[in-house]
Amino acid sequence: MISMKENKNNRSTRKIIMFLWSSFVIVLLFVFLLFYGISMSWFGSIPSFEELENPETNLASQIYSRDGIVLGAFYVENRSNIHFKDLPTDLVHAFLAIEDIRFTEHSGIDERALLRVAWGLLSGSKKGGGSTITQQLAKNLFPRGENLSTPKLALRKFQEWITAIKLERNYSKEEILAMYLNTVEFGSQAFGIKSAALTFFGKATSELTLEEAAVLSGVVNAPTWYSPVRNPERSLQRRNLVLKKMESYGFIPKDVFDSISQLPIDLSNYGLLDHNTGSATYFREYLRSFMHNWARTHTKANGQPYDIYKDGLRIYTTLDSRMQRYAEEAIRQHLGSDIQPAFFRHWKAQPNAPFVFPPAEARQEVQKILDQAMRRSDRYRQLKREGYSTDSIQHIFHEPIRMRVFSWDGPIDTVMSPMDSIRYYKFFLQSSLMSVDVHTGQIRAYVGGIDYRHFKYDHVTQARRQVGSTFKPFLYTLAMQEGEYSPCYKVPNIQYSVQLYDGSFWEPRNSSDDRIGEEVTLRWALANSNNWISAYLIKRFPPESVIQMARKMGITAPIDPVPAIALGTPDISLYEMVGAMNTFANKGVYIKPYFVTRIEDKNGNLIERFAPEQSEALDEVTAYKMIQLMKGVVESGTGVRLRYKYGLRNPIAGKTGTTQNQSDGWFMGLTPELVTGIWTGAEDRSAHFRSITLGQGANTALPIWAIYMQKIYDDPLLQITQKDFEKPQTDITIEFDCEAYDRKQKEENQKHNRLFDSSF
């Protein structure tokens, strides 16, 4: 018989078992209700199915060149998406090895990793994290927020588990891994693997090497701590840890690990992708303004306007990355190595440098320029916003501080006052370049200045500067089209007077005494920028007609209808001048230069395609006459150094331009496939060379064109030929060889004289 004591023990045991089972059921029920409640958003919203299908991230709008290179981006976060098929195998293996080796086995939550973490907490030894790649993706797509309490943080962790499971149900493993790599932060303002590859190594993700993949996979755990830029030694150790794990998991053999782990981290192509750095900085800022206006008038499917910083647009431009690079290199080579040092020497130890004013006015005028520059500066505006008085700001601007200033040899860390830095920057000459495809009007290269970080003003589209003799082709065009003139037509080289509206007379001077009193051809006159012959033509073709011709060729800048326009007094932008000159090379058809071919959404769907605006400005024969006239500039005129100094032997038409006081130097160069314009000058028109020899466009602008074209011709991949301009299909009876023209004229005169004599 069972004793009373044993019976009592049995009842106690049953109670304990019942309690344990009840507790287990209650805990199980609690856990079930907790996760059910989380999934039903009882404790706060979690992503819906629709949100999982279309997760919202701030995607950068990327700018592509015509040859497929990413020039830059507009972004809040420098993030752009990539597909799994574009991920190199080494990159996938590197991330799996360091982040989640059982990624392909679990369903969003790795129980073994959680047990390892739990044991680490109990034993006091840290054994690594327990989050899977899917959980990290959930956290990246739907951020936790900051400063969460412990209970809220625990709840948020459970919510991420639910989201991870949902992600696993909705996406394949490949899609999840690609989404994760698109959302992760790498530091250096790079979000997503595509931006990271471009920022750290200057290449596409698909081109990453094994060691580069290991660096990037090691960075994500702590982007600043393991940054190869800020902490290169720590980053190297982390990279080698990734490689060691790849070896231990069989992704790479030991000999590969041994060799790769000895390599240093190569950051020679590292570059932050911000608006101050990289290629085509001035163009990208010009494009930003265009895209802002475009976004206001274009809406998404939900009716909201596009946001260029968040919607991941793909902007395909007409720029060629190689030609853009050659243009920037040409300006740097000529200005940085030649013209700027010459300008410094030219003004060394000169009072009021680099400004040219009459002595009595110099001090006052220079101070006025510096004060205006101070008031336009960001520093001045910021101090004004902070409530400083004008006198206080003046004092601050004269106090020395540490600063970094621009130089052609690289940034200089120095100590100077802000006012001294303004004076320092006034010494720098600027230059701009725009190059267009003759037949399409597409802009191939666009350089608005020498350094966007320090000089924000865009001299391609924002600036209008006096064009000098580069305006003369508009006058000659009118003469070729409306008058019975040809390039070999002769005019006496004497001074001409043009009566003005007030009854006075305008009599321009020449910069040269060549062939005074002789009969000269129009070709010779344009080639040598002869002002007397321009006066002769403006007497026959009034300024209003010349302006009308310029308007047909795309010039929209204000122009006063005065005879002096024959010498180039109007202020016109480089953008308009290049478009106008392209009309000659394009057989008389004006094409407004454009820079975007199409815009796509983040999924590659076409939103808008762009086509050029064009119109017939002059007939084909007149355009060809002008090409022949402007060839003379290069063959024997102000552009002849293209031949003897730079060795360019191919057919080139061109025109130099120099303003009266050498403030502006121009060169417009035309070939059958490219028309390129260059302007060089200081920010202030009162800062310039004091001699025509140094300050003329043939010396300040033309060499940039020559260097640029040399680089283009040396690149066979660009396929820019050195062929001649195509002759019109129409029968042309005009003689362009002026020596042959003279012989024919002489023969006709002799024949006329014989007929005249025989009549008596």
Give pLDDT tens digits for 289-344.
Answer: 999 999 999 999 888 999 999 899 999 999 999 999 999 999 999 999 999 999 99
The one-letter code for the residue type at 562 is V
Please state the CATH superfamily assignment of the domain spanning residues 430-718 in this structure. DD-peptidase/beta-lactamase superfamily (3.40.710.10)
Of the candidates 435, 315, 283, 288, the one whose C-alpha atom is nearest the C-alpha of residue 70 is 315
What is the overall mean pLDDT for the chain? 87
Average pLDDT over residues 118-141: 64
pLDDT at 493 over 50: yes
Residue with tokens 């336009």: 376
- Of 592, 587, 596, nearest to 551 (Cα)? 592
Instruction: Reply yes or no on whether the pLDDT at 758 is more than 90.
Output: no
Mean pLDDT within 575-592:
98
The residues, ordered by sequence, that sit 6+ positions from 236 with a Cβ below 8 Å of its Cβ are 228, 264, 265
Q: Is the dihedral of CA 26, 27, 28, 29 positive or negative?
A: positive
Q: How far apart are the C-alpha atoms of 340 and 694, rounded to whole Å? A: 11
Please tell me the predicted confidence (pLDDT) of residue 448: 97
Q: What angle do CA 559, 562, 565 make, to 5 degrees?
A: 65
Closest CA to 473 of 433, 525, 539: 525
Q: Which helix (H) or strand (E) holds 89?
A: helix 89-99
CA distances from 253 to 84, 87, 264, 578 (A): 24, 21, 20, 58
- Mean pLDDT throughout 464-483? 93
- Does residue 412 carry a pLDDT above 70? yes
Structure tokens at 156: 């948020």
pLDDT band at 138 (very low <50, low <70, confident <90, very high): confident
As a CATH number, domain 62-304 is 1.10.3810.10
Q: Could you tell me the pLDDT band of residue 51, with boundaries at 50, 70 and 90? A: low
C-alpha to C-alpha distance for 675 and 579, rounded to whole angstroms:
8
Q: Is the pLDDT of residue 483 over 90?
A: no
Q: Is the dihedral of CA 477, 481, 487, 491 positive or negative?
A: negative
Lowest-confidence range among 13-27, 44-58, 371-385, 693-707? 44-58
Cα separation, 421 vs 15, whole angstroms: 87
Structure tokens belonging to residue 572: 């016109």
Helix, strand, coil shares of the chain, percent, nearest 5, are 50, 15, 40
Q: Report whether pLDDT(396) > 60.
A: yes
pLDDT digits (tens, 9 = 90+) for 81-103: 888 899 999 999 999 998 888 88
Least confident range from 9-23, 278-292, 317-331, 484-498: namely 9-23
Determine the average pLDDT of the residues in 46-67. 71
Phi, psi dihedral angles at 626 (to 5 degrees): -65, -35
Pairing of strands 190-191, 185-187: antiparallel
pLDDT value of residue 33: 53
Encode pLDDT of 589-624 as tens digits.
999 999 999 999 988 999 999 999 999 999 999 999
Nearest-angstrom CA–CA distance, 255 and 211? 14
Q: Are strands 589-591 and 571-572 parallel, antiparallel or unpaired?
A: unpaired
DSSP of 642-662, one letter per residue?
Answer: HHHTT---S--EEEEEE-TTS
Residue 590's pLDDT is 98
Give the pLDDT score at 419: 94
Nearest to 351 by CA among 360, 341, 338, 339: 360
- Note the Cα 325 to chain centre separation in Å: 10
Q: Which helix (H) or strand (E) holds 437?
A: strand 429-437
Give the H or E element holding residue 317.
strand 314-317
Cβ-contact 167, 180 below 8 angstroms: no
485 contact partners, CB below 8 Å, separation of at least 6: 479, 522
More confident residue, 19 or 457: 457
Classify 72 in phi/psi space as left (phi over 0), alpha (psi -120 to 50) or beta: left
Least confident of 636-650, 684-698, 739-753: 739-753
Q: Which residues pair with 547 in a beta bridge?
A: none
Residue 202 is predicted with a pLDDT of 87
- Alpha carbon distance 565, 574 (integer Å): 17
Written as six digits, the tokens of 315 are 């902007």
User: Minimal CA–CA distance to 463: which of 681, 244, 202, 729?
Assistant: 681
Q: What is the C-alpha separation between 697 and 200, in angstroms, rounded?
A: 40
Percent of the chain with pLDDT over 70: 85
Q: What is the residue extent of each domain of the chain? A: 62-304, 321-428, 430-718
- The answer to whether the beta carbons of residues 198 and 62 sit under 8 Å apart is no
Do 62-304 and 430-718 fold alike per CATH?
no
pLDDT of residue 49: 47
Distance separating alpha carbons of residues 176 and 184, to the nearest angstrom: 12
Two structure tokens written together for 652: 């080139």
Residue 42 — pLDDT band, cuts 50, 70, 90? very low
Query: What is the Cα–Cα distance from 557 to 464, expressed in whole angstroms?
Result: 8
* pLDDT at site 521: 92
Contact, 9 vs 2, CB < 8 A?
no
Mean per-residue pLDDT, 470-478: 96
667 in Cβ contact with 678 (< 8 Å): yes
Concatenated DSSP letters of 185-221: EEETTEESHHHHHHHHHSS-GGG--HHHHHHHHHHTT
CA 79/CA 62 separation, integer angstroms: 9
What are the DSSP E strand ranges found in 561-714? 571-572, 589-591, 596-600, 606-609, 614-616, 653-658, 664-670, 674-682
Two structure tokens written together for 65: 């060149």
> Which tokens belong to 163?
């989201």
Closest Cα to residue 380, out of 422, 415, 412, 352? 422
What is the radius of gyration, based on Cα positions, of the chain? 36
